[in-house]
Amino acid sequence: MSEANGQDFINEITTIGRIHHVNVVRLEGFCIQGSKWALVYDFMPNGSLDKFVFLDQGNNIPLNWERLYKIALGMASGIEYLHQGCDMKILHFDIKPHNILLNEDFTPKVSDFGLAKLHSTDESIVSLTAVRGTLGYIAPELFYKNIGGVSYKSTQVKYTFHHGFMIDMIKEGTWKWEMPPRMKRNL
């Protein structure tokens, strides 16, 4: 395992170990055995949200509006908890359908904290050396920003973008985002 992957693993354990919320996945334990590292979470029998979102990619499991509404509210509640409900603010940096897990009742759980950044509730600026997240899910204003410091307010904008973007994907059953030419040039 690379040093970067090892740091992601440690970040995930450190971050998720602090979190106790109905809309955030619960870490049950972890195991390190030689080069094999594993995180053990609650079992999520309905998998991740992406299999219900990307209906145009062969998935045929549509969700009714009541369930979609419950998922949208749960995602927002989980993200709000990470920002406001913990003793430390937790910036996830990779909210996407693949990282929203669904339990037996389709209660959404925010997961995958490998890119997360913890910071004090007193701090208004978080130091970053590079854009974090999955291309296509990064709020455009953060992608174009010259990285160095990210304000808490800009991360709220980012998560508003994520949440709105994901609600649109859930509603439409497809991913309609195309990378703008300017963004392609910046890669």
Contacts of 11 (CB under 8 A, 6+ apart): 113, 114, 115, 116
Active site residue 94: yes
d(CA 79, CA 184): 29
Residue with the two structure tokens 């509603």: 171
Q: How far is the CA of 87 from the CAs of 40, 80, 120, 122, 177, in angstroms?
A: 23, 13, 8, 10, 35
Count helices and strands (H / E) in the chain: 6, 8
Catalytic pick from 87, 94, 112, 168?
94
What are the phi and psi torsion angles at 65 (to 5°)?
A: -60, -35
Please say whether the beta carbons of 79 and 95 come within 8 A: yes
Catalytic positions: 94
